[in-house]
Structure 1
Amino acid sequence: MNRLAAPFALIFGALALLSAGSGTAQTVPADLTMTDIGAAGLSAPIAVRSPNDGSGRTFIVTRGGTIRIWQNGALLPTPFLAISVCQSGEQGLLGLAFHPQFATNGKFYLQLSRFNAASCTSPMADQVTMEYTVSVGDPNVADPASAREILTVKDVASNHNGGDLHFGADGFLYISMGDGGPQNNPHGFAECQWWKTANNNPASCLSSNPAGTGFAMLGKILRIDINGTTSSPSTELCGNTAGNPARYRIPVDNPNVGTSSTCDEIYHYGLRNPFRFSFDRSNNDMVIGDVGQGTWEEVDLITNGSGPQNLGWSTCEGRQLFGSSTTCNFGLLPILNYQHTGGRCSITGGYRYRGPITQLNGMFIFADYCSREVFFGLPDGGSPSGFSATRWESAPGVAVLVPSNPIGFGEDAFGNLYVTGQGGSVYRFDSVSGNSFLFGNGFE
């Protein structure tokens, strides 16, 4: 029997897990489980996504470049798409987002490490946003020939690639990029909003792109409008190939519009490796799991309408000073952070639960890649950040673990939450006693 344990001290220890605005303790059903959905044969499933097209299909993305459809309790035999991607280090097929009008236009977007036949590290693989459409004759198979490169980000290492992407309620596409990989952010990629070289001088942004060897959009959340193009783009469309029309345009309220020597795609900055992020399907708040370095992991909550933010890396790690910093240089504090103790090393997550299990409604659910623990968080007026979190335990001191290292989360059309294991399985959070509607697990 699974239940929530008392909050542990490493995440802003509070005395109770509280529900938003109620002041009363909120718990999860005692019979909460992670159910293996039976999607056998997958290799490193990294994302679970569902289009808003009424089909009830759930799409599972594997890091190796394959997308499979799970429907009516089974994987369809034919892959939706299979492409070649670089897989050195943390590279791969890392994210999938369906166009808000996917039901009518069939468009979807991938974030991936571009495949290089000779080597994925010399030169380093670019991080690329691609557009595809479904085939004309079969909605369960994508058309490989429809591939269009939308945006390209130059990279310096095979780790810290970010790689998630989602459409916000504003209709714009948000893309996460890591800080490039070098430890301690020595080049200042996460702070600089213009071209930078790997020169070990974090204070120096450049006046222009130095013969194509500069890096501009690492350590950021990008925001673009893919429903239009830019026929004569300026040099400040840093993800576009110079001299060519851009296959996207910049939202007019992006923060760098109207300024000089800044990349117009940048929306949020100061991130280390926002490997997974999500939008709250209830209110469009953004939840980011930003992977820390030596000591702290963090969860950032950017409320809908609060605008662009500086998330603080690398003057701070979590809510703590980093290195020789004397001041945390950020505009938005993480709502949660936890230390690298007990085998913890890297946050994966997460989502704010809005599915059929009523007791979980509003909880932030995330996991740690190394320890495989699952955490639940909610507002708590008694903690320094206003939020507290606790570890899922089956008995006092006994953690409920994801069976293999968790590398992704996702929702289906019903709001059910899934976590993926690097070992190849996909698990759904289930509860019979807490389920608010009969067919909330997608079966009829």
Structure 2
Amino acid sequence: MRTLAFCLVAAFPLLAQDAYRLSRVATGLSSPTEIETPRSDGTNRLFVVEQRGTIRIVQNGLVLPEPFLNIASTISAGGERGLLGLAFAPRFAANQRFYIYYTDPQGSIVISRMRVSTSDPNRADPASEEVLLRVAHSQFSNHNGGRLAFGPDGFLYAGLGDGGGGGDPLGSGQRLNTLLGKLIRIDVESTGSGPYTSPSSNPFVNRAGALPEIWAYGLRNPWRFSFDTQNGDLYIADVGQNALEEINFQPASSAGGENYGWNRTEGTQCYPTPGTCDQSGLTRPVFEYNHSVGVSVTGGYVYRGRGLPALQGSYIYADFARGQIWALRNTPSGWENQLLTNSGLQISAFGVDQQGEIYIASYSQGSLYRLISAQTTVSAVNAASGAEGLVPGSLATLYGSGIAPVLGIVQPAAFPLPTQLGNVSLTINGTNAPLLAIASNSGLDQINFQIPWELAGQSRATLTLTVNGSARTPLEIPLAAVQPEIFTVQQQPGAWTIWATGLGSVTNQPATGQASPASPLARTSVEVTATINRVNAPVFYSGLSPNFTGLYQVNVYPPEGSPETSEVVIRIGSTSSRPWQRRP
């Protein structure tokens, strides 16, 4: 036990180098394009739009097995087309209405209204669809826009791309007789005839040759826009052509009608040739960056949560291609931009939960993350990965400074694991947590412990750390039924052993703190699958590792010829681990 425990401690130093980092919340998603939550229903559900035509619900760190909506058979998806946007009605809790934005089989942009099923709050009623607006978009498949959002005025805003092709060959951005390349504003919630009306306060309602839905124009492919929930200011991230990515700003006091420049300008530069051009009447971006930094902006939200006070009032956004996440703030001396972290992810969407915390979707990885501080005094995470979402029965790690009053590593000598070690103890929802090891190295401390089995079925818990008889400030931690992650892989001819955490409930469950049984084995209650280099690897055992506490193992037959540097992934239900790979 001492050798393996030492390896587990040594393998996972404090993770964060940046001031902020991403904590993985859920996996198993397919090309996510949007994250939304109904602000008024109190369920803490996150609705994730998948490009293929489905909407999934993430609740308590788990992706629900059945989609909220599946219209994959009735849309076109691929490239930049697909199901792209979702917005819940301001009075969703009362009327159960929501709105979606997608491309139909002909490539047209469609905005529809739907209702939730009367028999299941986690399922939509596809038969309730009412098409509100259809905009022809068949000549090119790119630049579809896709964002829907209700403004503080109760009207629905939608961001449409310019119709595609390089350089806006249709001239949509500057033409007021098309909705392409525009931000539109329509009234969809008031009673009356027709699917919607254009508010009389829209800037082009009475202008000849202009469409009344238009609120602002001169956009290339707005991905995405959002309103500051505190003051109503509007931020628009517009993807550039060959040179510049831009953030546009519209104060809440605006009467609309802004021309953001495309395709007379790209960012603050004349287009297509930088130089002298007429920029009169244009609203210039408040911030831009060139393609040496990133090549495809993804708009986010102004932060109004409580967990990251230093970001209060900052606009959080990212670059899709290179994964940087920034905070843009309007200060008395001008707009200031701060790099928060380099994620290495393809960030396709941002979202906020009902508490105002920021979530991020990784397009290629199909995962959902939450933005958190890397400088948190104490954080409790999955021992194998550093992710949030702790699983009863499994190993977890507490990181912090000054939490381990020892030098080096202290471990127990035998089972059952003690609940006090080196003058340190932990309780979770009042239940003592067994301690596997505590360690301190140059002021960086960690405590490895088991999440008590008794917490199964709970979604959140309060962890209290006591050091030298003094209780620290309690820490709220999320719990999950499963959160598979890989410590390491033992590669032997003919069979590989994957050491893991977070595989959940088992048969022949041992008592909390006790060693796992060798006969009969404690097998996982839910089937575990594995892939090696994306090829199925048959599993012949998945369960607790005998004679250890809180550690799982998955034994597989590797595909013939699998190299030592193979990428290994395990999956339980709809939740996958992060890929593990031995470096050459």
TM-score range, shorter chain: 0.7 to 0.9
Normalising by the residue count of structure 1, what TM-score does the alignment of the two structures yield? 0.77
Indicate whether 1:352 and 2:307 are aligned: no
User: In structure 1, what is the equivalent of residue 338 of structure 2?
Assistant: 390
8 Å CA contact retained: 1:190, 1:269? yes
**Contact 2:53-2:77 at 8 Å conserved across structures:** no
Q: Does 1:162 align with 2:145?
A: yes
1:420 is aligned to 2:361? yes
Residue 190 of structure 1: SS of its match in structure 2? helix
Tell me which residue corresponds to 2:76.
Answer: 86
Between the aligned partners of 1:127 and 1:367, the Cα distance in structure 2 is 25
| Equivalent position SS for 2:222 | coil
Contact 2:28 2:63 in 1 (8 A): no
Q: Which has the higher strand share?
A: 2
Of structures 1 and 2, the one scoring higher in RCO (CA 8 A, sep 6+) is 1
Which of residues 215, 220, 223 in structure 1 aligns to 2:182?
Answer: 220
2:266: which partner in 1? 317
**For residues 433 and 299 of structure 1, what CA distance do their matches in structure 2 show?**
33
- Give the SS at the match of 1:359: helix
Match of 1:186 in 2: 169
Output the amino acid matched with 1:187.
L
- Compute the displacement of 1:258 (Å): 2.0
Question: How many angstroms apart in 1 are the aligned matches of 2:272 and 2:34?
Answer: 33
Partner secondary structure for residue 93 of structure 2: helix
For the pair shown, which has the larger CA radius of gyration, 1 or 2? 2
Q: What corresponds to 2:98 in structure 1? A: 108
Kept after mapping to 2: 8 A contact 1:414/1:441: no
Q: Which moved more, 1:170-179 or 1:370-379?
A: 370-379
- The C-alpha deviation readout for 1:121-162, integer Å capped at 9, x for no partner, is xxx411000111001111111111101101111113111111
Residues 320-365 of structure 1: CA deviation (Å, up to 9, x unaligned): 22224612244422111000005x2110112111112111111111
Q: Give the match's secondary structure for 2:248.
A: strand
In structure 1, what is the Cα distance between the partners aligned to 2:322 and 2:199? 40
The number of residue pairs the alignment matches comes to 362
* Change over 3 Å in CA distance of 1:145–1:330 after alignment to 2: same
- Residue 263 of structure 1: aligned partner: 211
8 A Cα contact 2:82 2:103, kept in partner: yes
Distance 1:256 1:143, change over 3 A: same
Aligned residue runs from structure 1 range 327-406, under 5 A = 327-342=278-293, 344-356=294-306, 357-382=308-333, 386-393=334-341, 400-402=342-344, 404-406=345-347
Q: State how 1:276-315 maps to structure 2 within 5 Å.
A: 276-308=224-256, 309-315=258-264
Residue 104 of structure 1: SS of its match in structure 2?
Answer: helix
Identity %: 39
> Structure 2 vs 1, CA of residues 142 and 442 (structure 1 numbering), >3 Å: closer, same or farther?
farther
Alignment CA distance shift 1:36-1:181 (3 Å):
same
Quote the residue 1:73 is aligned against: 61
Displacement of 1:167: 0.2
User: Is 2:84 the partner of 1:97?
Assistant: no
Pairwise CA distance, 1:317 = 1.1
Q: Aligned partners of 1:414 and 1:355: how far apart in 2?
A: 6
- Structure 2 stretches of 5 or more lacking a match? 1-14, 380-472, 481-584
Distance in 2, Cα, partners of 1:190 & 1:100: 30
Matched, 1:142 2:132: no
Say whether 1:55 aligns with 2:43: yes
Partner residue of 1:127 out of 82, 85, 109: 109
Displacement, 1:282? 1.1
Counterpart Cα distance in 2 of 1:93 and 1:441: 33
The answer as to whether partners of 1:369 and 1:407 remain within 8 angstroms in 2 is yes
AA in 2 matched with 1:417: I
* Distance change (3 Å), C-alpha of 1:228 and 1:381: closer
**Amino acid of the structure 1 residue aligned with 2:359:** Y
- Could you say if the C-alpha distance between residues 59 and 438 of structure 1 is closer, same or farther in structure 2, counting changes exceeding 3 Å? farther
For the residues of structure 2 that align with 1:433 and 1:98, how far apart are their CA atoms? 36
Change over 3 Å in CA distance of 1:276–1:440 after alignment to 2: farther
Residues of 1 paired with 2:282 and 2:310: CA distance?
32
Using a 3 Å threshold, how does the CA distance of structure 1 residues 349 and 108 change in structure 2: closer, same or farther? same
Say if 1:323 and 1:56 are closer, same or farther in 2 by CA, change over 3 A. Answer: same
What is the alpha-carbon distance in structure 1 between the residues aligned to residue 260 and residue 136 of structure 2?
22
Aligned to 2:371: 429
Q: Which whole-Å CA distance do the structure 1 matches of 2:108 and 2:477 have between them?
A: 38
| Secondary structure at 1:95 match in 2 | strand
Alpha carbons of structure 1 residues 182 and 249: separation in structure 2 relative to 1, 3 Å = same
What amino acid maps onto 1:87 in structure 2? Answer: A
Amino acid at match of 1:376: A
Distance 2:101 2:221 in 1: 15
> Structure 1 unaligned runs (5+)?
5-29, 117-123, 195-215, 232-245, 394-399
Judging changes above 3 Å, is the alpha-carbon distance between structure 1 residues 142 and 263 closer, same or farther for their aligned structure 2 residues? Answer: same
- SS of the residue aligned with 1:275? strand
Are the structure 2 counterparts of residues 335 and 229 from structure 1 closer, same or farther at C-alpha, using a change threshold of 3 Å? same
Question: In 2 relative to 1, CA 418–256 (structure 1 residues): closer, same or farther, beyond 3 Å?
Answer: same
